[in-house]
């Protein structure tokens, strides 16, 4: 893996290094002290070579299809500046494509993860998002819910409602709500897209054109302040647009792995996103830019 080096006490600095303080250091300070170093005091520093770091980046991109800059930096405990430099080097070698705020495999704007792939990612964050999103639903509401694992998590939080109408093209959402006595589930028509358990096509679009709901809760494969919500598949995108068009207000549910990532087809432009519900690891710059556009952002409290 990395290079193990011995360094003395407060000589240690730099991104990713484990700073150690001798007895003369202030316990809460990161500043090195001026005390003489003991010749016997050493600490172990894990240093990751660029080649190793870039190998890990490629593995993550190949596993997920698309990864945000912030997620890569957090995974490797390094700065976004360093990761950005690595992405430039990997792109120059033709090993990936850089996108706004992240990276994808070459030509990967059209890559669509399957349900099984998505269900294994950011499960804890999706549960947090669902817990916040349910606060935007009221008794006697009529809402629409799009396809996805994050919206499926929201559906699990809705089963306690006594009077609610839910329009959906998601078999997963319908399956969760089928035994909820207080919820009327309205399924769109359409053709089944088996990889994501969702109904798409003209039948789904036409059924949504005749409906009006207060809010649509929708997810996607990427979200940026520049282009809004996006997905890699045109058939999915057209239904997502119809879901958004049926609503007075659009609520986007995405975890940190999607924020800063851009995919092929825009579904909801940024100025149409009324609410964004995301986790606390979401890219700060993208969140700030969306706030400036007027989007209300909901994130869990805490560090």
Rounded Cα distance between 54 and 57, Å, is 5
What residue ranges of the chain are covered by domains with CATH 1.10.10.10?
50-110
What one-character DSSP code corresponds to residue 170? B
Given CATH 3.40.50.620, say whether it is the number of domain 115-298.
no
Q: pLDDT at residue 72 above 60?
A: yes
CA angle (138 as vertex; 165, 133 as ends), nearest 5: 95
CATH (residue range 50-110): 1.10.10.10
Q: In a 3-state reduction of DSSP, which class is residue 55?
A: helix
Residues 6+ apart with CB under 8 A from 128: 279, 280, 300
Nearest residue to 73 via CA among 293, 296, 281, 287? 281
Residue-wise pLDDT for 216-259, tens only, equals 999 998 999 999 999 888 889 999 999 999 999 999 999 988 89
CA angle 208, 209, 212 (to 5 degrees): 75
Single pTM value for the model: 0.66
Question: Alpha helix (H) ranges present in 134-233?
Answer: 149-158, 171-177, 202-209
Strand-pairing partners, residue 68, are 102
Tokens of 234: 């045109």
Rounded-to-integer distance, Cα 249 and Cα 251, Å: 7
Give the model's pLDDT for residue 106: 66
What mean pLDDT comes out for the span 273-289?
94
CATH 3.40.50.1360, the chain: domain bounds = 115-298
Q: What are phi and psi of 135, to 5 degrees?
A: -70, -15
Q: 158-171 pLDDT, tens per residue?
A: 999 999 999 999 99
**8 vs 120: CA distance, rounded Å:** 42
Q: Which residues contact 263 (CB under 8 A, 6 or more apart)?
A: 66, 104, 109, 110, 111, 220, 221, 222, 230, 231, 232
**How far lies 303's CA from each of 204, 279, 281, 288, 300, in Å?**
41, 11, 9, 17, 9
Task: Choose between 186 and 1: higher pLDDT.
Answer: 186
Reported residue count of the chain is 303
Q: What is the mean pLDDT of residues 199-215?
A: 95
Mean pLDDT of 194-201: 91
């Amino acid at each position: 893996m990395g290079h193990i080096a011995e360094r003395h006490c407060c000589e240690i600095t730099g991104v990713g290094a484990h700073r150690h303080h001798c007895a003369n250091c202030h316990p809460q300070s990161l500043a090195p002290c001026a005390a003489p170093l003991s010749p016997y005091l050493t600490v172990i520093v894990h240093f990751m070579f660029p080649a190793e770091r870039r190998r890990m980046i490629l593995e993550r991109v190949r596993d997920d299809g698309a990864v945000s800059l912030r997620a890569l930096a957090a995974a490797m405990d390094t700065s976004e500046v360093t990761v950005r430099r690595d992405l430039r080097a990997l792109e120059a070698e033709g090993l990936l494509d850089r996108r706004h705020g992240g990276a994808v495999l070459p030509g990967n704007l059209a890559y669509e993860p399957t349900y099984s792939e998505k269900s294994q990612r950011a499960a804890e964050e999706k549960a947090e998002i669902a817990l916040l999103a349910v606060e935007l639903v009221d008794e006697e509401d009529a809402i629409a819910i799009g396809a996805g694992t994050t919206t499926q998590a929201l559906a699990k939080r809705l089963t306690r409602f006594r009077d609610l109408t839910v329009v959906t093209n998601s078999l997963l959402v319908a399956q969760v709500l089928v035994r909820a006595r207080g919820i009327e589930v309205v399924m769109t028509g359409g053709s089944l897209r088996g990889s994501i358990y969702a109904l798409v096509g003209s039948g789904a679009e036409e059924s949504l054109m005749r409906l009006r709901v207060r809010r649509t809760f929708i997810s996607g494969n990427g979200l940026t302040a520049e282009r809004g919500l996006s997905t890699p598949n045109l058939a999915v995108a057209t239904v997502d647009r119809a879901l958004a068009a049926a609503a007075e207000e659009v609520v986007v549910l995405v975890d940190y792995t999607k924020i800063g990532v851009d995919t092929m087809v825009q579904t909801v432009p940024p100025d149409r996103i009324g609410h964004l519900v995301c986790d606390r690891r979401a890219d700060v710059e993208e969140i700030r830019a969306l706030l400036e556009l007027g989007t209300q952002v909901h994130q869990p409290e805490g560090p």
